[in-house]
């Protein structure tokens, strides 16, 4: 019932629904991963159904918190957390701390790229979509163009070729995007 209020047109009803979801999470006997999954999916739905609504106080915090979920065993949690990052990127407003959000995009880039070869096809689709949504925040127009061209739903990118070309372009354009992330991911 709480999740059904997302379909209501009233922002007040949806706000109360989110508060109800939080209350349910605190007092429910479901396992933790199910609650996290429902919360991720609900937040994504709110971001998509309330264009222009001011979520700026939560966007950077949400991007920080979902980073840990990218490596969960449960493919539903991986997919939903990756998808939420893309939804956050498409809902940015003028009040959003854009530099802090770009830091989170760059901090999640390597992990997102690695999930392009995830064994779960839906995680891969979520990754493609999210990387396309965050591409413009990398501040590398050539890299963004390559991402938009190569990661569409109708493309079947060859991971090795795509990553090789992407790394080459990113290295030429902006070495700061990688920083120490490559070493961190390989350790």
Q: Is residue 122 part of a domain?
A: yes
DSSP letter string, 125-154: HHHHHHHHHHGGGGS-HHHHHHHHHHSSTT
pTM: 0.73
Q: Is residue 7 part of a domain?
A: no
User: Across the chain, what does the average pLDDT equal?
Assistant: 77
The pLDDT of residue 182 is: 47
d(C-alpha 61, C-alpha 84), whole Å = 12
Q: How far is CA 118 from the centre of its chain?
A: 15
Count up the domains in the chain and report the number.
1
Q: Is residue 14 part of a domain?
A: no
d(C-alpha 64, C-alpha 108), whole Å = 9
The pLDDT of residue 129 is: 92
Q: Is residue 6 part of a domain?
A: no
Cβ 161 vs Cβ 145: under 8 Å: no
Q: Is residue 100 part of a domain?
A: yes
Q: What is the mean pLDDT of residues 49-62?
A: 75
- Answer whether residue 17 shows pLDDT above 90: no
Q: How confident is the model at residue 33 (pLDDT cuts 50, 70, 90)?
A: confident
- Answer whether residue 1 shows pLDDT above 70: no
- Answer whether residue 5 shows pLDDT above 70: no
- Note down the domain range covering 146: 55-177
- Answer whether residue 143 shows pLDDT above 90: no
Q: Is residue 154 part of a domain?
A: yes
Per residue in 61-109, pLDDT tens? 888 888 888 988 999 999 999 999 999 988 887 777 888 888 888 888 8
């Amino acid at each position: 019932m709480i999740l059904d209020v997302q379909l209501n047109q009233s922002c007040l009803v949806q706000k109360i629904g989110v508060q109800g979801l939080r209350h349910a999470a605190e007092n429910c006997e479901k396992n933790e991963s199910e609650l996290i999954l429902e919360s991720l999916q609900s937040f994504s739905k709110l971001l998509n159904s309330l264009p222009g609504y001011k979520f700026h106080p939560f966007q950077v915090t949400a991007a920080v918190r979902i980073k840990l979920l990218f490596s969960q065993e449960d493919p539903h949690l991986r997919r939903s957390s990756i998808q939420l990052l893309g939804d956050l990127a498409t809902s940015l407003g003028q009040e959003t701390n854009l530099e802090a959000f770009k830091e989170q995009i760059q901090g999640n880039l390597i992990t997102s790229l690695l999930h392009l070869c995830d064994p779960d096809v839906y995680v891969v689709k979520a990754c493609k979509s999210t990387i396309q949504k965050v591409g413009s925040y990398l501040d590398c127009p050539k890299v963004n163009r390559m991402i938009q061209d190569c990661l569409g739903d109708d493309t079947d990118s060859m991971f090795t070729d795509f990553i090789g070309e992407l790394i080459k372009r990113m290295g030429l354009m902006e070495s700061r995007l990688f920083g120490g992330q490559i070493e961190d991911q390989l350790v």
